[in-house]
Amino acid sequence: MHIRLLAVGDRQPAWVDDAFGMYSERFPREWRFRLDSLPTERRAKNAPADRAIAAEGEKLLARLGTDEQLILLDERGKSLTSIALGERLSGWQADGRDLAFVIGGPDGVSAEVKKAAAFAWSLSDLTLPHGLARVLFAEQLYRAWTLSTGHPYHRQ
């Protein structure tokens, strides 16, 4: 199983890159994890956000492989405990399909991206800044992996 994160927004503060890198470097090699950043569409001052959302959605879906299962990170998705995420990760691994997690742009994702998602996961009921969502995603994915392998990182 290969895992990647498709994220709209290509420029992040150094602390985001550092923290994200710290966790993603711990992922197992067999995941062949990678981050694919897509630039945020330009938003004209008075133009509706719908155009940018649609354009970002088209780019996200175009990057999605036919063998990849899309997991959308969305505040309206299902909240999971770390243990439940570990169980879900084990299930995804047993399924054998590659995973593509998606973090949308500042205004969210298109309806087409939502329809293509096999699962919508909420990192929090709070609205998170994009960079913080990346870091939280990486830490929780690492934690889920440690739970599924019996690694002592997670403590009850």
152 — pLDDT class (breaks 50, 70, 90)? confident
Q: Are the beta carbons of 89 and 145 closer than 8 angstroms? A: yes
Q: Kindly report, residue by residue over 16-26, the tens digit of the pLDDT.
A: 999 999 999 99
Q: Is the dihedral of CA 134, 136, 141, 146 positive or negative?
A: positive
Q: Are the beta carbons of 101 and 4 closer than 8 angstroms? A: yes
Q: Which residue has the higher pLDDT, 23 or 67?
A: 23
Show the tokens assigned to 48: 């509706």
**Domains by residue range for the chain, with CATH:** 3-149 (3.40.1280.10)
Q: What is the mean pLDDT of the chain?
A: 93
Rounded to whole angstroms, the Cα distance separating 142 from 111 reads 29
Q: pTM of this prediction?
A: 0.93
Lowest-confidence pick of 25-29, 58-62, 74-78, 152-156? 152-156
